[in-house]
Amino acid sequence: MPPILQSVLTLLPIVWLVAALAVLKMPGHRACLAALAIAAALALTLWRMPVLDCATSALEGFAAALWPIILVIIAAIYTYNLSLRTGAMDVIKRMLAGVSRDKRVIILLIGWCFGGFLEGMAGFGTAIAIPASMLVVMGMEPVSACLVCMLANAFPTAFGSVGIPTVTLANVTGLDPLPLAFVTVVQMFPFMLLMPFLMVAAGGGGPKALRGVSGLTLAAGLSFALPQLLVARFLGPELAVIVGSAASLAATLGLARLRAGKPIPAEYDMGAPAQPAPGGGTSMTPFTACLPYLLIFVLLLLTSKLAPPVNGFLGQFSSSFKISTAEGAGTTSFSWVNTPGVLIFLAAIAGGCIQRAGGRVMWEVFTATLRQMSKTIVTIMSVLAVAKIMTYSGMISDMADLFVTITGSLYPFFAPVIAAIGAFVTGSGTNTEVLLGRLQTEAAGAIGASPLWLAAANSTGAGIGKILSPQCVATAAAAVGLAGQDSKLLAAVLKWALLMLALACLIVGLLQGAAAVL
């Protein structure tokens, strides 16, 4: 078979996923199991991957999916479900509704500000699962709630989990993390301003939703992007999104209170705060209701790299195993204590105890959460297995080489597309940096472009591709009770993601020359 045709066939698992989810409307877990079969068949035949290597690579994908990705998603959904059971979420809803009943303001506060903060602290799906579920409880239609939170998550991904993706990219490429973080924020700056507008329009039924809140929407974007730019320039990637989202939350809350007396159009009025259910949250204070989420913040902060003594102590409770036998496969590391999923579970249990949820209630909520997430677990495990097989067989590398060969000097215009494809397969910004970061900088050297600029393009494209990935779609669907309806969410987010990807290609391609002076 001609090498060019074989390289084209690397796209087959991805083409199948898009067709199965968007055209055939197939449930996500079935589509991903079929994609796994396709990837394995291609690897075993055309790429001549040994059977043992293929099987153990899939096993590595399963393990990486279970810990920490599925763990943190289950923990996030469990926290939310327990808050529902105790009545805490009713209290939170009334508290937020006390700030504003305007759907557009709530979208900015929860989807943009709070979602960005969760991405900066934890990542791994929490920034979509928790805000989307909160928006649904407050009365927002589930698909719209997922859509706005997925859009919000695209660009904070580069600095998620205390900057892990960008730190990883710096390690892979050998670039200095400080200028890399700064250039990444510069490249994403237009999107950080645009995204709140897209969220309000998407969640409010069109551009008309911006009428009356355009100033607030601009402020939400500026107050996020400017602090993020400064932190990235002087401190590096770890705190960029955390500081940006906190600043945006403070600014948006303050401006929302100033406009509290303004009339709200009926179509955006989410109504008066819901009355508590009998015996559920009636006497609970707002602090007690928010305690699980406050504890999540405190635990993640105290155990992060920002607290080296604690981080170093907990880091010793980890193990590394070599799972895949494929050539080039490394060890897979598991942090047994200092991982977001474990910390979120601890916060949920501690908060639940203070909210007077007994052991029986907590166990019932946990088992119900596992049942709720069963299809999502299959989806994510399948996707990660596909990613590992495609990586270790050489399919991902061949796919990237195909793009470089075809595009030549125009490669910068396509760099975000390559990253988006990688993130679509892996569902992870960090994994995409590992897979394709080095390729981007090598391509930059070959055509005389800025390595920093094309490395940043990998982060930009990865964030967009991530929100289209089956893993991300399945997480969002499970969070709002739409498990198995992945195709509906993919159809909702696809047009917005393609718009962002087209803009990213233009920005990276047109400004790559100017990037050399940054």
Residue 182: inside a domain: yes
Average confidence score pLDDT of the chain = 87
Residue 483: which domain range?
3-258+283-316+331-517
More confident: 460 or 404: 460
Domain count, the chain: 1
271 occurs within a structural domain? no
Q: Is the pLDDT confidence value at 282 over 70?
A: no
Is it the case that residue 277 has pLDDT exceeding 60?
Answer: no
Could you tell me what percentage of the chain is helix, strand and coil, using 3-state DSSP and rounding each to the nearest 5? 80, 0, 20
Whether 94 has a pLDDT exceeding 50, the answer reads yes
Look at 96 and 106; give whichever has higher pLDDT: 106
Give the mean model confidence (pLDDT) for residues 302-312: 82
Counts of helices then strands in the chain (DSSP H, E): 24, 2
The DSSP annotation for 247-266 comes to HHHHHHHHHHHHTTTS---G
Question: Is residue 171 one of the residues assigned to a domain?
Answer: yes
Domain presence at residue 177: yes
Name the residue with tokens 């490395």: 455
Residue 353's pLDDT is what? Answer: 94
Where does the pLDDT of residue 498 fall: very low under 50, low under 70, confident under 90, or very high at 90 and above?
A: very high
Q: What is the mean pLDDT of residues 87-92?
A: 83
Whole-number pLDDT of residue 509: 93
pLDDT of 4 strictly over 80: no
**Helix 359-393 vs helix 71-86: crossing angle, to nearest 10:** 160
In a domain, 449, yes or no: yes
Q: What is the mean pLDDT of residues 176-196?
A: 95
The first and second tokens of residue 328, run together, are 């080039």
Question: Which of the two residues, 498 and 306, has the higher pLDDT score?
Answer: 498
Q: For 336, which DSSP code?
A: S
Q: Is the pLDDT of residue 408 over 90?
A: no
pLDDT at 502: 96
pLDDT at 55 over 90: yes
Per-residue pLDDT at 281: 46
What percentage of the chain reaches a pLDDT higher than 90?
Answer: 42
Q: What does the pLDDT read at residue 280?
A: 46
Q: What is the mean pLDDT of residues 241-256?
A: 93
In a domain, 263, yes or no: no
pLDDT of residue 279: 46
Task: Look at residue 278 in the predicted model and tell me its pLDDT.
Answer: 47
Q: What is the mean pLDDT of residues 27-47?
A: 92
Query: Are the CB atoms for 58 and 36 separated by under 8 Å?
Result: yes
Question: 166 CB contacts (<8 Å, ≥6 apart)?
Answer: 158, 159, 177, 180, 181, 184, 237, 433, 459
How many CB atoms are located within 10 Å of the residue 506 CB? 12
Specify the pLDDT at position 101.
85
Q: Do 239 and 228 meet the contact criterion of CB atoms below 8 Å apart?
A: no
Pairwise pLDDT comparison (121 vs 110), residue with the higher score:
110
Which pLDDT band, with edges at 50, 70 and 90, does 515 fall under? low
Within a domain: residue 423? yes
Q: Residue 347 to residues 76, 127, 325, 446: CA-CA distances in angstroms?
A: 10, 16, 37, 49
Check: CB of residue 319 under 8 Å from CB of residue 332. Answer: no
pLDDT bin (cut points 50, 70, 90) of residue 328 is: confident
pLDDT value, residue 461: 96
* 273 lies in some domain: no
State the pLDDT confidence band at 124, using cuts at 50, 70 and 90: low
346-402: pLDDT as tens digits? 999 999 999 999 899 999 999 998 988 888 788 888 888 888 898 889 887 787 778
Type of residue at 300: L
Cis-peptide, bond into residue 27, ω within 30° of zero: no
pTM over 0.85: no
Residues 147-176: tens digit of each pLDDT: 999 999 999 999 987 788 898 888 778 899
Residue pLDDT, tens place only, 217-243: 999 999 999 999 999 998 888 889 988
